[in-house]
Chains A and B, each alone.
Chain A
Amino acid sequence: MSTTATPHSIVADGLTKRFGDFVAVDAVSFRVNKGEIFGFLGANGAGKTTAIRMLCGLSIPTSGKGTVAGFDVYTQTERIKRNIGYMSQKFSLYEDLSVTENIEFFAGIYGLSRDRIRTKREELIAKLGLVQEADKLVGALPLGWKQKLAFSVAVFHQPQIVFLDEPTGGVDPVTRRQFWDLIYEAADAGITVFVTTHYLDEAEYCDRVSIMVDGRIAALDTPTELKKQFGTGTMDSVFYELARGAKRGGA
């Protein structure tokens, strides 16, 4: 398979998406290395969501080239979906199913065997400290726990890449850090992490960060390099410097 031939989990080459005469994503090019934590930042309306949808095989690009986990974003979207995990702030788990049922359901989607699901399920519940809550409905859990569980479910089938769309919004500072511990753990296990966030301190935790402005990638480097380039001490000012010039606030 082509996945072994390239060191990149994601390759985007002039990836473009138009809606009528509106260019949501404008010839975006970047590469994400295997096992990397890649921060995907941008203002609301900059085109992040559209870009992620293309990379996840949910939306076919208008032009450009792209592969995710070695699979083509035009022709192999089904195989892409099988090789990635996805978690967003809005929809992640079924609130009216229990912790165990959620794990079983999502693992079942990816075709894991019953035995493997059972052993891994026990491991996961123990690791997250949810033994007492295993049969509780997910809706009754605090947000932070839900998000940790949702992440664990998203990487349960050991995908090559996991996409996280604002996973920590509204989560308390301590749980937010625990969440990032889970991200590190996944990255150490070789899973590529593609994450969007509005917390700029979290941008510091990424290996590399890209910042989208008006459908284009305006900057892409390590946090240290970016701060050096912009002659500032915080990612906050880097982001502000770039996004302030955005023309597309209302999009």
Chain B
Amino acid sequence: MELAIEATDLSKWYGKEKILAVDHVSLAVKPGEIFGLIGPDGAGKTSIFRMLTTLLLPNTGTARVNGFDVVKDYLEIRDRVGYMPGRFSLYQDLTVEENLGFFATVFNTTIEENYHLIKDIYVQLEPFKKRYAGKLSGGMKQKLALCCALIHRPEVLFLDEPTTGVDPVSRKEFWEMLARLKQHGITILVATPYMDEATRCDRIALIQEGRILQVDTPAAITAAYPDRLFQVKGGSMSATLRALNKLDGIIRCYGSGEFAHVAVPATATHMEQRIKDHLLAQGLTDVVVRPAIPTIEDVFIKFTLEKKA
């Protein structure tokens, strides 16, 4: 089966100093898949997106989208993909309706023709259709931008950080929409700095400083976490972390919501009890220690700290 996106050895550098933004990246995205590029700001996600959407020329490597070369066949690609750039890229002084209508014409279609595709999203926007896009809230802006990127029923949809700066509820809704789009057979490449969104993807690539750290399904990535992980609580977070830092035999510890996460070697034994005893000995009360299931964030932290060490 032909791949929806295939990138081989892509690199991109900028300026006279040749600052490397994308460092020999290879990717393969299957048709109909939701593929996530997960990494912080400055990891090179936007540069990858721009090369795949024919906006930038790669310095090394090649890439194909639905079989078309991003350099040679850029016009073919532009006819077939939908793209939502990182920042809000609609006309603030046009209304919701006017923006959508404009992009429909640009893409040689009408709102009616593909209405079924955007219906779920657009019904939420409909009460505000006479409002200027600039006056919408963050969540609504994202929904409108998604509608505009979808209006021509693209074969591949590129979403560059669609949920950045959007509140958790709107983010959740946004991902539910993407799941529905997947049922229409649209391939979706999505970039996000929110690690918790990774599990919404079929497969993900963890990316940092222009390099891909790992590519797999979210479940496979967390399952491959090499260390054993505990969640620990005992009074305040800072006191807990201070105490944990004095304990030998742990690899790393850090806050993670309500609990501190503690990673220990997979081979170590009796660690649960040892941690508990240690914290009690340090004078902490109400100590809770229990095994934790690693998340994508834990994996990412592991990569970052290992690189620094």
Classify A-B as touching or not with yes or no (CB < 8 A).
Answer: yes
Known contacts A173-B300, A205-B255: does B136 contact A250 (CB below 8 Å)?
A: yes
Q: Number of residues in A with C-beta < 8 Å to the partner? A: 40
Q: Size band of the B side of the interface?
A: 35 or more
A170 touches B164 (CB 8 A): yes
A174 touches B305 (CB 8 A): yes
Q: How far is the CB of A179 from chain B (nearest CB, A)?
A: 11
Binding site for A on B (CB under 8 A): 39-43, 124-125, 127-128, 131, 136-140, 161, 164-172, 193-195, 208, 237-238, 254-258, 297, 300-301, 304-305, 308
Q: Which residues on the B side are within 8 Å of A243 (C-beta)?
A: 167-169
How far is A244 from B172 in the complex, measured between Cα atoms in Å? 11
How far is A204 from B165 in the complex, measured between Cα atoms in Å? 19
Closest chain B residue to A234, Cβ basis = B257
Known contacts A184-B238, A204-B257, A223-B258: does B297 contact A173 (CB below 8 Å)?
A: yes
A166 touches B304 (CB 8 A): no
A201 touches B256 (CB 8 A): yes
Q: How far is the CB of B141 from chain A (nearest CB, A)?
A: 9
Where chain A touches its partner, the secondary structure class is: loop
Binds B, one of A42-50, A52-60, A108-116, A151-159: A42-50
Is A169 an interface position by the 8 A CB rule? yes
Contact with B167, one of A43, A171, A172 (Cβ below 8 angstroms):
A43
B167 touches A170 (CB 8 A): no
A198 touches B168 (CB 8 A): yes
Contact with A251, one of B137, B167, B195, B255 (Cβ below 8 angstroms):
B137
Contact with A240, one of B39, B164, B168 (Cβ below 8 angstroms):
B168
B255 touches A250 (CB 8 A): no
How far is A246 from B39 in the complex, measured between Cα atoms in Å? 30
How far is A23 from B245 in the complex, measured between Cα atoms in Å? 49
Contact with B304, one of A143, A172, A244, A246 (Cβ below 8 angstroms):
A172
How far is A143 from B208 in the complex, measured between Cα atoms in Å? 13
How far is A175 from B164 in the complex, measured between Cα atoms in Å? 17
How far is A180 from B124 in the complex, measured between Cα atoms in Å? 36
Q: Which residues on the B side are within 8 Å of A239 (C-beta)?
A: 168-169
